[in-house]
């Protein structure tokens, strides 16, 4: 489709100059050029050197932008007078406007040039990653709507930047989500250096937005000061508050409380959105100028099927149902003014039971991978390389928070019941993360099994078991012939209705028997290694889903139990949690995608 569209367009000036020498029926290849490497004699050598130089210069551009933005954010943290939050917002707004200009130019200009997109990476931009971009983008838009409403209610103490910045953010999120949904698989072949710089500019902007979301605790500090004032009033003490703090207190209205609670609930989604978009943009940056040969394109892509799994879905469903019950009880009891200690015991006990099961499953799966005689997939795959990097990098969030918790517990009172549960939870979480990473990474580098022979076997097995359809038709004909001519007219309609019911019931029974026989045969046809890998993968997928849902929708015991917060201080522990929690949520979501790939290839 894209090739036909490109052939109808006017050729560019470089295509005209090469049309005489190029053979008929071949697509024009736009080799990269760079002013530092014009002296190279070989065209392919000059193309490779220009590609490396373009990646280097675009990477330096992103590095300088990230360092500049990090300096602004750090200055805002350590010196509120010289650099304010409004100054950081103005810088990020300028970057977002530049990104919007480049994305618009790419959509309307670069992607429509002749021979711009000759190849598309089948591994990049999978449906689950694009769906994550759309899902987290919608939640981020809703988050900015709540922020605009919260700032509009407190307009007497808020600046106009508090309303303008979220508005630009909404436009940026919508445009970027549309761009990634339609063009995440592109291997652009024109305007290489400009496209690389635009992609790196967008990646740097998303990383700075993530850094600001991690360190910006303005609304959280306002809520904390309000709760502190309420506690002082209940204790009979006159609270001392700054005039600006009193002026910015949320009024006792329902709409303000909704905006405030919604902002806090949706806060992790914004950081998640920035990380997912950065990963997709990085794959696009690696694919700029990439030419995919035909033998790299998979001829038969395996599909997701539930055949061959029984115990994995059962155990996974049980873990999800129990996790939802624990989560609902936690949300009801822990969000009150005085959280109950027993709810934290219940929450950590659930994790202490679930994490060892996941670790044992991952270890068994790794051992099965070692016993298999499957070849490794050694083809160049930027998406798989990025998946491995993201798994290892995102795991640092959970591992880092766990080690901080271990130090705080050992230094205070490790013999207490709740503290011992938190200590066990932290140790088990580290072990489970490491074992699961080894299992996923090992599975991603395995060649998929061929599914064609299995489908043919299941088809042959199900075919001979359907004799009912042949036997039902002669019996109905025999009953017709035994009818007398006088009575045939009276009972003809009832007989036809009964025949239709009988045939429909027989067909329904045959379809159920066909499906059940096919499922049983496919399950018994799988080898025990493949069966175990599918069971383990499906179980780990279900467990990672519930472990993603619980912290994403408000279950944050690492911040609400008060142990680490009292040990490290509010600001320090807030920064640690805001750095580790989004990475932990991203790790669970990314693990689901990796485990689904392992399940499919098994």
Is the CB of residue 560 less than 8 Å from the CB of residue 339? yes
Instruction: Tell me what pLDDT residue 543 has.
Output: 93
CA dihedral 522, 528, 531, 534 (to 10 degrees): -160
Q: Collapsing DSSP states into helix, strand and coil, what is residue 288?
A: coil
HSE (side-chain half, CA atoms, 13 Å) at 55: 15
DSSP for 163-185 reads HHHHHHHHHHHHHHHHHHHHHTT
Which helix (H) or strand (E) element contains residue 362?
helix 341-371
| Nearest by Cα to 518 from 465, 461, 453, 467 | 461
How far, CA to CA in Å, does 123 sit from each of 136, 204, 387? 21, 24, 11
Instruction: Tell me what pLDDT residue 377 has.
Output: 64
Q: For residues 275 and 575, give the distance between their C-alpha atoms in angstroms, rounded to a whole number.
A: 17
Instruction: Tell me what pLDDT residue 505 has.
Output: 65
Token output for 461: 């097995």
Token output for 99: 């990104």
| Nearest by Cα to 397 from 558, 245, 205 | 558
User: Which distant-in-sequence residues (6+ apart) come within 8 Å of 549 by Cβ?
Assistant: 323, 324, 327
Q: For residues 318 and 325, give the distance between their C-alpha atoms in angstroms, rounded to a whole number.
A: 11
How far, CA to CA in Å, does 156 sit from each of 133, 245, 247, 338? 35, 12, 8, 32
> How is residue 118 annotated by DSSP?
E
Roughly how many angstroms between the first and final C-alpha of the chain, as a whole number? 33
Token output for 13: 């000036």
DSSP for 511-566 reads HHHHHHHHHHHHHHHS-HHHHHHHHHHHHHHHHHHHHHHHHHTT--HHHHSSHHHH
How many C-beta neighbours within 10 Å does residue 185 have? 19
Tell me which residues of the chain have a pLDDT lower than 70.
1-47, 80, 125, 217-248, 293-308, 334-339, 373-382, 447-526, 528, 554, 602
| Nearest by Cα to 553 from 337, 336, 261, 345 | 261
């Amino acid at each position: 489709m894209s090739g036909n569209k490109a052939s109808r367009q006017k050729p560019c000036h470089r295509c005209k100059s090469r049309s005489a020498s190029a053979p008929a029926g071949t697509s024009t290849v736009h080799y990269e050029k760079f002013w530092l490497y014009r002296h190279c004699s070989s065209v392919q050598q000059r193309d490779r050197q220009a590609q490396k130089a373009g990646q280097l210069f675009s990477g330096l551009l992103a590095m300088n932008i990230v360092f500049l933005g990090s300096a602004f954010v750090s200055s805002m943290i350590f010196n509120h007078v010289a650099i304010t939050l409004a100054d950081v917002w103005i810088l990020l707004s300028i970057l977002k406007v530049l990104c919007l200009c480049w994305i618009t130019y790419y959509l309307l200009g670069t992607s429509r040039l002749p021979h711009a997109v000759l190849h598309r990476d089948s591994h990049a931009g999978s449906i689950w990653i694009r769906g994550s971009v759309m899902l987290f983008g919608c939640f981020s838009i809703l988050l900015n709507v709540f922020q605009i409403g919260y700032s509009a209610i407190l307009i007497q103490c808020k600046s106009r930047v508090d309303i303008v910045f979220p508005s630009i953010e909404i436009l940026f999120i919508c445009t970027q989500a549309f761009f990634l949904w339609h063009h995440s698989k592109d291997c652009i072949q024109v305007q290489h250096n400009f496209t690389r710089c635009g992609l790196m500019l967008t990646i740097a902007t998303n990383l700075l937005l993530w850094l600001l979301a991690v360190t910006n605790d303005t609304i959280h500090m306002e809520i904390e000061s309000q709760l502190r004032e309420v506690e002082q009033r209940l204790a009979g003490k006159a609270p001392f508050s700054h005039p600006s703090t009193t002026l910015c207190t949320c009024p006792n209205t329902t709409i303000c409380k909704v905006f405030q609670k919604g902002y806090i609930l949706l806060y992790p989604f914004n950081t998640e959105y920035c990380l997912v978009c950065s990963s997709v943009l990085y794959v696009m940056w690696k694919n700029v100028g990439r030419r995919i040969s035909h033998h790299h394109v998979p001829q038969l892509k395996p599909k997701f099927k539930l055949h061959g799994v029984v115990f994995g879905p059962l155990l996974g469903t049980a873990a999800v149902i129990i996790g939802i019950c624990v989560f609902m009880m936690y949300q009801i009891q822990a969000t009150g003014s005085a959280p109950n200690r027993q709810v934290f015991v219940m929450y950590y006990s659930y994790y202490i039971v679930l994490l060892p099961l996941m670790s044992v499953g991952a270890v068994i799966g790794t051992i099965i991978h070692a016993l298999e005689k499957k070849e490794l997939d050694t083809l160049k795959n930027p998406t798989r390389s990025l998946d491995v990097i993201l798994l290892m990098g995102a795991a640092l969030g959970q591992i880092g928070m766990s080690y901080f918790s271990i130090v705080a517990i050992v230094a205070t009172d490790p013999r207490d019941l709740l503290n011992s549960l938190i200590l066990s939870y932290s140790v088990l979480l580290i072990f489970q993360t490491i074992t699961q990473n080894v299992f996923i990474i090992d599975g991603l580098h395995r060649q998929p099994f061929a599914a064609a022979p299995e489908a043919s076997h299941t088809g042959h097995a199900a075919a001979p078991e359907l004799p009912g359809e042949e036997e039902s038709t002669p019996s109905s004909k025999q009953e017709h012939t035994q009818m007398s001519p006088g009575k045939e007219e009276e009972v003809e309609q009832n007989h036809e209705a009964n025949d239709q019911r009988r045939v429909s019931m027989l067909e329904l029974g045959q379809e159920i028997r066909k499906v059940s026989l096919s499922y049983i045969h496919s399950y018994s046809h799988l080898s025990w290694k493949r069966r175990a890998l599918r069971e383990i993968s499906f179980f780990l997928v279900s467990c990672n889903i519930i472990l993603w849902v619980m912290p994403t929708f408000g279950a944050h015991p690492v911040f609400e139990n008060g142990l680490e917060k009292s040990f490290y201080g509010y600001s320090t522990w807030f920064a640690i949690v805001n750095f580790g929690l989004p990475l932990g949520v991203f790790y669970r979501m990314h693990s689901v995608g990796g485990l689904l790939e392992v399940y499919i290839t098994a």
